[in-house]
Amino acid sequence: MKKKTFFLAIIAMVAFSFSSMAQHVDRTSFKAGVFAGLPVGDAADFSSFSLGIDLGYHWSVSEMVDVGIASGFLNSFGSDVEFTDGPITVSGNFGDIQFVPVAAAFRLYPNYNFKLGGDIGYAVGINEGNEGGFYVRPMIGYNITGNTELNVSYINVSNNGSFSVVALGLLFLF
């Protein structure tokens, strides 16, 4: 019981310190940006590089929290693949893999310059044979100017398998 009380007291102190550091700013805005990334996991076997566009609208609901909607476009460039199994060699070129995410967004601001958050929803597959799937994108961002953010994110689309990209992005607030 004492451990639980101590743990709750620590959480309350951390939350109070974050809320006292936060400057009240209305962050309600349209956001647009670009990102570049590297496919990881199974996606790295048939894709070499990713580029994308981010679009979103966020509403500031408190000093520390934004909620919103997110979309954009992700294109992962297909790569040439050669597979050898004993005397058999198979080679081919995978086409580009493209998604348009439709997601809800959540951001937490421990202070004015730094943010944690994520998007969750569905990524619509737009290239031939791509069914899309469940979309999740956790991210960490840092405001480098009043209206420009640098962020790092992990993009994952899953549907009977997983397609993942680690991305670095630049986001502009309007």
> In the structure, what pLDDT confidence band is assigned to residue 79 with cuts at 50, 70 and 90?
confident
* Mean pLDDT estimate for the chain: 86
More confident residue, 127 or 10: 127
* Structure tokens, 94: 């995978």
Enumerate domains of the chain plus CATH numbers.
2-173 (2.40.160.20)
pTM of the entire structure?
A: 0.79
User: 């620590």: which residue's tokens?
Assistant: 10
Nearest to 163 by CA among 37, 78, 38, 41: 41
The amino acid at 139: M
What's the rounded mean pLDDT across residues 167-172?
97
> In the structure, what pLDDT confidence band is assigned to residue 90 with cuts at 50, 70 and 90?
low
pLDDT of residue 25: 62
The amino acid at 40: V
What's the rounded mean pLDDT across residues 107-113?
90
pLDDT of residue 19: 44
Q: Is the pLDDT of residue 44 over 90?
A: no
pLDDT of residue 158: 96
d(C-alpha 29, C-alpha 144), whole Å: 17
d(C-alpha 32, C-alpha 76), whole Å: 19
What's the rounded mean pLDDT across residues 25-54?
91
Q: Is the pLDDT of residue 22 over 50?
A: no
Helices (H) and strands (E) in the chain, counts: 1, 10
Q: Is the pLDDT of residue 11 over 70?
A: no
Contact yes or no for 99/119 (Cβ under 8 A): no
Contact yes or no for 139/150 (Cβ under 8 A): no
